[in-house]
Amino acid sequence: QVQLVESGGGLVQAGGSLRLSCEASGRTFSSYAMGWFRQAPGKERDFVASISWSRTYYADSVKGRFTISRDNAKNTVYLQMNSLKPEDTAVYYCAAGLTVTGRVPREDFEFGSWGQGTQVTVSS
pLDDT at 27: 74
Question: For position 65, what pLDDT does the model report?
Answer: 98
Give residue 13's pLDDT: 98
Q: Give pLDDT tens digits for 92-112.
A: 999 999 887 778 999 999 999
| Mean pLDDT score, 34-57 | 96
Q: How many CB atoms lie within 10 A of CB 108?
A: 16
Write down the mean pLDDT value for the chain.
Answer: 95
Average pLDDT for 25-52: 94
Which residues are within 8 A (CB) of 76 and not within 5 positions of it... i.e. 6 or more apart?
Answer: 21, 22, 23, 24, 70
CA distance 98 to 84: 30
Residues 6+ apart with CB under 8 A from 112: 1, 96, 97, 98
Strand partners, 38: 46, 92
Confidence of residue 53 (pLDDT cuts 50, 70, 90): confident
Residue type, 65: R
CA pair distance 60, 21, nearest whole angstrom:
21
Which pLDDT value is given to residue 21?
98
What DSSP assignment string belongs to 61-93?
A: TTTTTEEEEEEGGGTEEEEEE-S--GGG-EEEE
90 vs 26: which has the higher pLDDT: 90
